Structure 1
């Protein structure tokens, strides 16, 4: 262990001189021209280092002492930032980061990640660029050494995320994934796939996220419900409604096998909503939408989940009205009244009476409309909410009836 620590400095000094050349190859030339040379690559004497460092190695004790001194530099930089001296803080952090490489790649990457997160939050693009440059150099050195250092690659992936470089983060995690698969480490494979999937999701790359969670579904059967739920969300957000229906159908089968009736109403609502979206372009999907809303209501009622039952009925009423099925909408609205009563949802009950009144107005059945609005007004008075609205609707229906 001590021998390993003492060798670190020698390697670090070699990296000092190779870094600039590697950077020139790794960066976008148009970006490199935007900023001055990186302060992280400037080799300058530092008071924390003994003179003639290039001719001697730091002992493990000296490395330990240096680590403590660098922690103090970090604290000093944080104090500068809190005092409003951002440039002063950055200068101290750059000094810390230059010296951190003497403690090894992992320690340096962890420090770069910490400072990079702050720079990103401060929208300091120049500092983020310098840190991203340095991270790429370390990654290139790790790859060229052909010694797979999984903790280092994982730390690089985390650091790239902190500086909001998802593409580079994915490259690092892809290297991790290839390695753990070669080692047949299924636990690490699942963990890495989850991280990759989360990155795709955080940047709204739904196709790639779907691919990753499909891999997880195949790799980790114990958590298939979680992955199916995530896939349903991904397909829905990506407006891939048919795929969402297929995944939700698999979930429904699992819940039925488990006799898990509690989850079914919400699931049926989601299936119906996807069929309704599909029906906007292909009307032949409408019957499936109606059927699943009805099943959502039935399963919710049977399990006494009246909130979901009411939601299913509201969706049915809206769908009936878009199809001109007014009588069916009215009948369903009467069932909604009973459901909202069971749910003790007085606001929902008030809205249901309003909905019934509006349907009767459209049918020019004014006495029935007035009765519905009066029922709604009674609830509005209890809730002290929208009383004026219901009075206006009653007046409107009465005028039309006279």
Structure 2
């Protein structure tokens, strides 16, 4: 009979092997052993079981030039497992379904009107998807708010007007698959890990309806004692700005989030910015263009505090404004001008060319952290 310690070690090694195959497929047993520093015997035993379980498949033979036997190559079986990721927003639910290789099988969104119960719509969507994809390893849900990822308990979400909701428990009452609940910004940051080269630390900033941040050290999210670490959206960048629900004035979230832009457009132009047409409106209206240019200065002011306080190796800005040169230029110029020179020089600041989906991040987490 195997000891508990041996079983845990085997489970850990199996996860390492699957992660290695996912990143390097097709690859041979020898390449896995060399890459992970594990014995050939350990690799062979675990791979044989994965082959029997239909999780890994042999995909051909790699002929070697010169001496040495041909190597049998291994790949993941894409439909061995799936995972479901959901993102809850004020007016819609987004979802994505991934296969075992992290390829998207399906994605979509469901609009939620103001008179609908977002929680009940979320549960119904999770139920429908779990029935359509019974082979899913689980359902990951991203929430804009204060979440304990260990228990799946939502303490507060001002965006959704939620407070003290045992969301994991509520959804698992209806679906048969395991459910995990995350802060939407933190899980987007974690999902981006697989697309980044190895870094000791980076700070991820996401601008959407509001503004949030996540701090990653050695591939791990820093949640903090009350799960509020990384809340860059509540750094005050204008003491004369509008009052935030947190009690401060001029929080970054209040100043540059999409909700702020929509409110500005409504007041100054008399036209509401909608998700599908805001980009065209910005490009065609000098007032909106000027406002987003100002957003760059405000974000740059917040970056100064991030660089001085936690000194990350890299800052990644995931924003709908990234395509506008003045926004990027003002962000960089302001932060450089007001940051200690050597600190700024040692911090790489990048702007994503495409938005990363928190729903996809939640689905990735289900597959990689099972």
Classify the TM-score, shorter chain: under 0.3
TM-score of the two chains, using structure 1 as the length reference: 0.22
Higher helix share: 1
Instruction: Say which one has the larger Rg.
Output: 1
Larger RCO (CA under 8 A, 6+ residues apart): 2
TM-score of the two chains, using structure 2 as the length reference: 0.24
Higher strand share: 2
